[in-house]
Amino acid sequence: MSSPPTPPGSAAPPAPARPAAGQGRAGRTVSPAGLAAAVAVLLAVLVVSVVLAIGLGPSSVPPADTVRYLWAALTGGVIPAEEFAGYQVIWQIRTPRVLLAVAVGAGLSAVGVAVQAIVRNALADPFVLGVSSGASVGAVVVVVFGALAALGVYALSAGAFLGALAASALVYAVSRSRMGMTPLRLVLTGVAMAYGFQALMSVLIYLAPDGEATTMVLFWTMGGLGAATWGSLPVVAVVVLAGTLLLRRSARALDVMALGDETAASLGVDTSAVRRRLFVLTSLMTGAIVAVSGAIGFVGLIMPHLVRIAVGAAHARVLAIAPLVGAVFMVWADVVARTLVAPRELPLGVITALVGVPVFIVLMHRRGYLFGGR
C-alpha cells in the first residue's frame, strides 16, 4: 500500500514567525502541491495495479498481452483467433471485475470518511446506518418471492438498492427530532434498525423453500465482486465518482462539524442541514455499492483512519487520498481473494480484514494516532 509523501517542513505556510515543530508530530500537514503530487502518484499506482490485476488469475496473462487486449477492445482492434478465449476472459470477466473493485474500494472509503464525520464516531462505517442489512432484505425478498422479475438479471441489484434506500429512509425518519438529526440518535437508530432487518431476513430465510436464499444472504453479508459485469458497472462507477466529488466539496463543513454542533453554528455551519444532505448522498452511494458487491466490511471503517494517520485530519486531503488508496487496496484484496485458493474463491471481506487489520495496528502504534480522544 502506498502512502503519499509527507516531507517534514515542506508544508510551512509563509509566516512572519516560524512555527516550531511539535515533538515527533511534525510534517503531517501536506501543502497543496504535495497533495497534487500524492494524488498523481496514487493515480499512477492505481492504473498499474488495474492492469496487473486484470492479468492475474487462475490463467495468468502477461501485462503486455493484457494491455494489448485492452487496447484492442477499446479501439476495435483485431485479436488472433487462438487468443480469443484469453481475450474473452480478460475483457468480459476480469476487466469489469477489477474496475468494479476500483469503484467499490473508492466509494466505501469516501463514504466511510463522511459517515464518521456525520455521526461523529470513529467506529462508524458505511453500513452503520442500516444500509447493508436493508439491502440484504431487499435481495432476499427478490430471491424468495420473485419480486421485480420484470427487471431480469438486474432484479437482485435493484432489490438490494431499493432495500438499502428503504432502510435509509426509515433510519432518517426515526432519527429526526425537534433538535435536528443528532449524531448519537443517528447511530443508535441505525444500529437498532440493522438488528431489526437481520431478524426480518432470518425469518425470510427460515420460510424460504430452498437453499438459494441462504447462499444469497451469505453473499450480501460477506460481500464479493464475483457478480461484476459490464452492465452493472456504469451506474455504480458514476454514482461513486460524482458522490465522492460532492463529498469533497463539503470538506471544510465536515472539518467544522468535527468541532461540535454548537461551535459549528458559531462558525456559520448548519450541522442539521449538512448532516441531512450528506446522509442522503452517502445512502445513495452505499446503496449503489452494496447492490453490486454486497457489504464488504473493514475498508470503509479502516481506510479513513489509515489515511488520516498519513495525511492528517483535514477532510480536503483525506477525501482526495482515501478513495485512491481504498481503490488500490480493494483491487489487490480481490486479486488475493480469487487467486489464493483458486479455482475456489475466498470471501473478499475475509481478505480485507486479514490484510488490513495488522497493517492498521502497526501504523496506529507507530504514529501515536488518536481516535478523536485520548
Partner 1 sequence: MRLRLDAVSVEIDGATLVEKLSLAAAEGEVVALVGPNGSGKSTALRCVYRALRPASGAVLVDGRDITALSLRDSAQQVAALTQEAGTDLDFTVEELVALGRAPHLDGNQPLSRRERELCTEAMARLDVLHLARRGVLTLSGGERQRVLIARALVQEPSVLVLDEPTNHLDIRHQVELLALLRSAGPTVLVVLHDLNLAAAACDRVVVLSRGALVAAGPPHEVLTPELIHEVFGVRTSVVPHPLTGAPQVLYSLPTAVRTESRP
Binding flag, residue 77, partner 1 (CB under 8 A) = no
Using the rule CB under 8 A, which residue among 246, 313, 363, 364 binds partner 1? Answer: 313
Binding flag, residue 36, partner 1 (CB under 8 A) = no
**Nearest alpha-carbon partner for 317 in 23, 94, 32, 61:** 32
**How many other CB atoms are there within 10 angstroms of residue 33's CB atom?**
10
Binding flag, residue 369, partner 1 (CB under 8 A) = yes
Angle at 123 between CA 117 and CA 125, to 5 degrees: 70
Binding flag, residue 33, partner 1 (CB under 8 A) = no
Q: Cα 63 from chain centroid?
A: 27
DSSP 169-181: HHHHHHH--TT--
Using the rule CB under 8 A, which residue among 48, 64, 151, 265 binds partner 1? Answer: 265
Binding flag, residue 3, partner 1 (CB under 8 A) = no
**Nearest alpha-carbon partner for 300 in 123, 133, 98:** 123
Name the residue nearer to partner 1 (CB basis): 44 or 267. 267
- Name the minimum Å distance from CB 339 to partner 1: 37
Using the rule CB under 8 A, which residue among 2, 3, 29, 214 binds partner 1? Answer: 29
Question: What is Dmax (Cα atoms) for the chain?
Answer: 75
- Name the minimum Å distance from CB 72 to partner 1: 41
Only one of the segments 70-78, 103-111, 156-164, 244-252 lies at the binding site for partner 1 (rule: CB under 8 A); that segment is 244-252
Distance CA 102, CA 106 (A): 6
Binding mask 120-149 for partner 1 (x = CB under 8 A): x-x---------------------------
Residues 6+ apart with CB under 8 A from 48: none
What cell was used for 244?
A: 465522492
Binding flag, residue 366, partner 1 (CB under 8 A) = no
Half-sphere exposure of 301 (CA within 13 A, CB side): 16
Using the rule CB under 8 A, which residue among 5, 7, 77, 372 binds partner 1? Answer: 372
Distance CA 39, CA 44 (A): 9
What cell was used for 115?
A: 459517515
Residue numbers 93-122 binding partner 1 by CB under 8 A: 117, 120, 122
Name the residue nearer to partner 1 (CB basis): 178 or 344. 178
Binding mask 7-26 for partner 1 (x = CB under 8 A): ------xxxxx-xxxxx-xx
Binding flag, residue 312, partner 1 (CB under 8 A) = yes
